[in-house]
């Protein structure tokens, strides 16, 4: 903390520094900072918009700062650059008067930047304030010839992510929607809630906007979900509606028979596991959750306690479950580790954390987990392969690999048909069997869902 007085701006700066310098996760750290700060709800929202908006638009702001500083961003002291980004967002991305954004942001530098750096920040931000956002956009784009780089700067995404998203959209027949998707990644979503079957009651959602994607989902427009009694009591949870649909698709793919055994193979932190556990309890089904990391397994256990404190939570490498529990499970959810490129609107710094070579490493892990899940699936059972990413290397390429490697019993189910039964109003590409959800189209994360049946 750099100023003795805690304000929305000091909270935002602390968050940005922790993300940049310590690889902190913004969505996990911000609630802790806000809880300690005792700020009112107005300042809380102001702090979040400052921090998250700065993270989302970082690439664009860096290009503007380069124009004003007449040097590349990687030549600027990182502490000063963080403050400059925060100031640029207030000036160009928020309804903050330029004079207030300037003076208050420069004040943040006192005590942790040199006097020379204070003057540098002041001078650069004054130049930033001399033009509007649209004027700066025209200036920075005028230097760029590559169309993908233009989109990368205009919508503040790494260029490799822009290319990957375009490829995914092309496969889905939506190539023309690239700019809409990039823009959707930069719009903070409403808080999405799920009503756990068998626990929640109709009145829990009576004052909320229902859906639009999940029949058991609702949206909270501002405010803290802790103010809802049903949330405090665990009957409703925060969960993206794409995640809800992934779990519901596995449950609804065919009628449940009492005595089935279900597995959530990579269950941490427990959101989908809670929904599956609630459904399992209603259907007289045995449910097991597995998680590799012990600390995440504890989170899963906590998430399941309200539903049934006796649910088994195992701590095991999912790649070994096919050997330790061959053909044991009737339904398996494999929510595989992935780049998370489908959740950029909720995790604004994630776009700057991943690199193209991460996809290949994760694809190897995804293949190993899928092969293990397949071995653990009973003949006649169903497996849901899910990623919160639309990247082809983590989605259709993995399913193509599985169809070639896992044998003739590998039967791809029409996942879009299953989802259409769950929500007939859902926008889906019925020309394919695997499902790809989109934030700009479905108001969900860009969730990929593939249902696979093991023939008897």
Which residues are identified as catalytic?
A: 388
- Of 444, 445, 415, nearest to 430 by C-alpha is 415
Hey, which residues does 332 pair with through a beta bridge? 263, 383
Query: Between helices 356-376 and 396-405, what is the axis angle to 10°?
Result: 40
Q: What is the dihedral of CA 428, 431, 432, 437, to 10 degrees?
A: -20
CB burial readout 33-62, b (16+ within 10 A) else e: bbeebebeeebbebbbbbbbbbbbbbbbbb
What is the rounded distance in angstroms from the CA atom of residue 378 to the CA atom of residue 324?
Answer: 14
- Of 220, 215, 216, 276, nearest to 426 by C-alpha is 215
DSSP conformation letters of 405-417: HS-TTEEE--HHH
What is the rounded distance in angstroms from the CA atom of residue 47 to the CA atom of residue 171?
Answer: 39
Q: Which two tokens stand for residue 399?
A: 């399913």
Other C-beta atoms closer than 10 Å to the C-beta of 379 total 10
């Amino acid at each position: 903390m750099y100023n003795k007085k805690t304000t929305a701006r000091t909270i935002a700066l602390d968050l940005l520094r922790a993300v940049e310098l310590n690889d902190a996760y913004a969505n996990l750290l911000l609630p802790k900072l806000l809880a300690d700060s005792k700020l009112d709800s107005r300042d809380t929202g102001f702090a979040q918009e400052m921090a998250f908006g700065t993270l989302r638009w970082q690439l664009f702001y860096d290009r503007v700062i380069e124009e004003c500083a007449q040097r590349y961003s990687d030549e600027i002291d990182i502490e000063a650059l963080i403050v400059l980004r925060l100031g640029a967002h207030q000036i160009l991305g928020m309804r903050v008067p330029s004079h207030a954004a300037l003076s208050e942001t420069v004040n943040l530098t006192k005590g942790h930047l040199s006097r020379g750096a204070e003057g540098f920040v002041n001078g650069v931000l004054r130049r930033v304030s001399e033009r509007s956002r649209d004027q700066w956009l025209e200036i920075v784009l005028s230097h760029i010839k590559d169309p993908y780089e233009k989109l990368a700067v205009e919508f503040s995404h790494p260029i490799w992510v822009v290319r990957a998203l375009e490829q995914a959209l092309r496969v889905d027949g939506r190539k023309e929607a690239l700019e809409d998707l990039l823009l959707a990644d930069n719009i903070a979503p409403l808080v999405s809630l799920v009503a756990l079957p068998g626990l929640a009651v109709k009145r829990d959602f009576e004052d909320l906007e229902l859906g639009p994607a999940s029949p058991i989902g609702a949206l909270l427009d501002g405010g803290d979900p802790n103010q809802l009694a049903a949330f405090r009591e665990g009957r409703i949870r925060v969960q993206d509606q794409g995640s809800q649909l992934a779990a519901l698709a596995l449950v609804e793919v065919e009628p449940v028979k009492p005595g089935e055994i279900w597995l959530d193979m990579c269950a941490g932190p427990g959101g989908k596991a809670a929904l599956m556990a609630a459904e399992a309890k209603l259907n007289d089904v045995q449910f097991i959750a597995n998680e590799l990391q012990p600390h995440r397994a504890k989170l899963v256990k906590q998430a399941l306690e309200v539903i049934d404190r006796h649910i088994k939570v195992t701590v095991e490498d999912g790649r070994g479950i096919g050997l330790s529990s061959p053909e044991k499970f009737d339904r398996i959810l494999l929510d595989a580790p992935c780049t998370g490129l489908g959740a950029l609107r909720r995790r604004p710094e994630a776009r700057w954390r991943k690199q193209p070579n991460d996809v290949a490493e994760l694809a190897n892990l995804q293949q190993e987990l899928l092969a293990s899940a397949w071995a653990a699936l009973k003949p006649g059972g169903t497996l849901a392969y899910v990623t919160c990413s639309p990247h082809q290397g983590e989605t259709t390429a993995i399913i193509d690999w599985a169809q070639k490697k896992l044998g003739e019993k590998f039967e791809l189910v029409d996942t879009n048909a299953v989802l259409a039964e769950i929500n007939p109003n859902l926008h889906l590409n019925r020309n394919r069997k695997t499902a790809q959800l989109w934030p700009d189209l479905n108001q969900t994360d860009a969730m990929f869902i593939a249902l696979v049946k093991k023939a008897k």
